[in-house]
Structure 1
């Protein structure tokens, strides 16, 4: 299915420096995470720059601020900062929102932003697979954020849906289970809420429209 860039969004969840602290979180899965996030951002931004039709994919950066005073994501902690490879730019097509809970939809304007921009395809990546990514993907599916409804709440138009970019997410070891197992099980469970894809598939879809990016 071809991508309509004007109705496509990339949702990047909690790509913040605090998650480098393996003493706090434990070992992490997916050593290709940083490379894949970098490549996704590069391709989405390149598509935006060369789009002759004016179609611009939306990029949404989610920023977690913890209410736990011991968390490396607490207000004012250095770990709250975005990773250098995932810094938002100043384009009007990149939005930053902050959250204090696992879901990127609770207490934020995310759903309103997606509906205002008439997003029909939502790609989700970021940290962590089993917490904020999972919660946000499940809510995106339940809310049907890529569909259009009439005044009576009936579906007028079905979007392409939510896509989890599985190898652009990562998880930490916990409960005696290693990080790769935690990652794999949670990504598999999200297939009921989203289409699970690889970074290479997303890039191929973008390059099918703009071969030079």
Structure 2
């Protein structure tokens, strides 16, 4: 199925197909969100390890290899590669947003220098690539990314990373509200389950972004 008709929600079932996407390299950035060591750790509890096994399989076999390939393509074409990660500045996490202090899965205490807060080595920054540190879901909220993108003349943002239904969705919505053209690369993203992943892509597609595949993106480049 073409990206122009895939991942349609009720709101856009009957909408016209979008126009072709053209990405001038000098006006485009690739933003990779939260692919960090902590999320690749297999739980010690066997039941939890089994529960998360499909997510880890997707990350290791699809998302991380595809994201690295997308980064290499971007670097070779002059598209800026930018990274976002969750990390607090204080060891006790006092600087975290409220959402990261609440009990449950989203409770995150990731001091910036600790190993589990670092970006997975396969998709880690190279040379002077920009890394923004956040204690929020959105990569724009609480960071200087918005200003940085504007200062660099970026109008189009390609988004990859995790989790589709959390930090990806929140960042995409923020970017769209700031009038950036946003492209989400579905096979460079993951949620805890495939159902959550697909559902969120349908929710954000066509209004906040266009959902495409990695191979689609490679065809959008403007010489």
- Range of TM-score over shorter length: 0.7 to 0.9
Corresponding residue for residue 186 of structure 1 = 200
Q: In the TM superposition, what is the alpha-carbon distance from 1:204 to its structure 2 partner?
A: 2.5
Counterpart CA distance in 1 for 2:113 and 2:80 is 28
Paired positions, count: 177
Q: Secondary structure at the match of 2:166?
A: helix
Corresponding residue for residue 33 of structure 2 = 13
Q: In the TM superposition, what is the alpha-carbon distance from 1:76 to its structure 2 partner?
A: 4.3
Alpha-carbon spacing, 1:182–1:22, altered in 2? closer, same or farther (3 Å): farther
Q: In the TM superposition, what is the alpha-carbon distance from 1:186 to its structure 2 partner?
A: 0.9
Q: Secondary structure at the match of 2:125?
A: coil
Corresponding residue for residue 151 of structure 1 = none
Counterpart CA distance in 1 for 2:26 and 2:70 is 17
Aligned: 1:196 with 2:196? no
Q: Secondary structure at the match of 1:73?
A: coil
Counterpart CA distance in 2 for 1:202 and 1:143 is 22
Corresponding residue for residue 143 of structure 1 = 178
Listed as ranges, the matches of 1:95-106 within 5 Å are: 95-106=130-141
Q: In the TM superposition, what is the alpha-carbon distance from 1:118 to its structure 2 partner?
A: 1.6
- Scaled by the length of structure 1, the TM-score of the pair is 0.76
Listed as ranges, the matches of 1:14-29 within 5 Å are: 14-23=34-43, 27=52, 28=55
- Scaled by the length of structure 2, the TM-score of the pair is 0.72
Contact 2:112/2:118 (8 A) holds in 1 = no
Corresponding residue for residue 150 of structure 2 = 115
Counterpart CA distance in 1 for 2:71 and 2:30 is 9
**Which aligned segments of 4 or more residues in structure 1 are displaced greater than 4 angstroms?**
none
Contact 1:18/1:72 (8 A) holds in 2 = no
Q: In the TM superposition, what is the alpha-carbon distance from 1:72 to its structure 2 partner?
A: 6.3
Alpha-carbon spacing, 1:72–1:203, altered in 2? closer, same or farther (3 Å): farther
CA deviations 1:126-171 (Å, max 9, x no partner) are 1111111110001111121x3xxxxxxxxxxxxxx11111111111
Unaligned segments of structure 2, at least 5 residues: 1-20, 94-99, 102-106
Corresponding residue for residue 45 of structure 1 = 75
